[in-house]
A and B are shown apart, each in its own frame.
Chain A
Amino acid sequence: MSPIHGMRPPAPVEFPSTAGPLRPGAGGPSFKTIMAQTVEKVNGLQKNAQATALRFLQGEPVEVHQVALEQQQASMAFDLLVEVRNKMVSAYQEVMRMPL
């Protein structure tokens, strides 16, 4: 009798954290680097989700819930990224509006 394989638990999305007081020029990754890394991670999640969905359509023995979970993960990560970007843009705009 073949062993029952459990589902892979969904991998948590880790956004790199920069805990600690902000010190100008104190080293550590710049925001640009963090954003780039996060975009890469989200892109990776989306590519995985697409690949799994395609394999399901092609008739390979992929479970529907696997497809569903990966799609949702990728979607949530993407939405989170977009929100973060929007917040950054509006913060920038607010700073630009400040009278000198």
Chain B
Amino acid sequence: MSAMSGHVSSDRLGDAARHGGVDFLRDTERRHVLGCDQCQRLYGGYRLTDRLLAAPWRDVKLPPAAVARPSRLGALAEFMSGLNARSVAPAVAAIGIVTLIGAALALPQLMPAPPVATDHSPIASATTSPSASGPAATRVSPSSSAQPSSSPGAQASGPGGSAPSSPSGPTPGATAGGSAGNETLAIGKTGGSPIAWSPDGAHLLLWGSGSPRQLQIRDASGRLNGTAAADAAAWVTSSTIAIATHSSGVSPSASASGPGHHGVGVSPGRSGGGETVSIVDVGGHPVATLPGSYALGGGVANGMIVGSGSGEFTIASQGGSGSFGWSFVLWNGSVSAVQDGLPIAFSQDSHRLAVLHPSSVSGGVVTGWLEVMVVPSLNTVASFTHLNLRVGSGSLGSSYGFDAAFSPDGRYLLASGTLVNLSNGSPLATGKGGWLPDGTLVTSSNAGLLRWQGTHSSVDSRFPGMGTVETARHGELIYFYGDSRPALLLDTDGSLTAISLAGVRSIGGLLVSPNGRAIAFGGRATDGSSITAVATLP
């Protein structure tokens, strides 16, 4: 019994709840508990706690109000409770001394400085940007000792080594508005959700809202070129797009038995029909319709069509005999025989196709073993059945396709942060990123941008902190942070520019056009609303 309150102590009640009930208690304690509502309630709380902790655990979605966040005052109190005056006194004294010294040093800096001629500034060699869209813009070319993106091999000297930085080049601390040139880009709002740039970078596909989903085809300035109703889409060439459209009138059986049917799946993706696949031009006008109907796969519908950009595309369909019900056909002027698996990416020369054989599909993430096929014969060149590769959706989150890309030479595949050596199937966790034309893989990490040569990486100190990297096939690189910090653009000539987007607070996802001339992005406007737009790069 607690001498202070007269009640049984909390710990004793907890022990009793754990060890079989009030019989565990001494006689006096037991008699008290049986007659005391307060002790009974606390005992009940312990019993309930033990039941709760023994229950199975899982992810639960809670409204924000249900999650208690300790108030700042509470956190301070918790912190202070762990301190005593004896331990605090030296710390307070040290803070005071440091503050005084800091103030003494900073005072002269706070005095108004005389104007300095621009020619004598550290960025006197900066060139004025040709872009007329923003305020006086400057770009900085790193000196020859800095790391040009075109010769990354020089910096990747070994694992964990940090790349050499130029004395006059941008430094990590200065990147956001410091040594890097700054540029504010005008944007063209598009709405919708960007899917993919055309191979030549002249057009952009976006999803509009509504059902069936409306596909928008816009030019690089964001102007609407055409629309089409579609459930999935991919670029076939720079001027043609393959789209899957729900065909409610087509009965699966009729479609399957109809003449010339080459469809993979004959079961409907949704009740009442399957998907018809057509090819449209950049104005949204139909060019051709493929025979047969296809079943839109659950969970990865956006990846149903994968295009090479040079004339081929695959159509995956669920309900076939393949693993997890996935099978596909290849179109390159005619439709191939049905193959098992789920295509995730063409190589850059379109001669190889990476195909996943799923063992699980959950929330847009597919896990399975990998097969590499020759295009267009679809002969297998490599099978990695030991591999359990996980492939998620692309950089704009739920918007489109698979996050998978071959290296320029076709010897590696980067899939959702895992690098697979296609000569032996060995996986390596590299983090998410993209390829540069010379074969350098760039990924993001907490330390900043990593440049990979084989299995060795080095930090590129010009891109500090955890961000997201996107690359253009032409060689441009953009590193952005998802908050108010400006994105960093590394051009093919080695110049680094900190780019801000007019009226945009943060970038959530971004696509660089293959020619490196424009970006499409989604994010938050300065007023907090969602925004999707395009911008022309300097």
Interaction A to B: no
Which residues in B have some Cβ–Cβ distance to A below 8 Å?
none
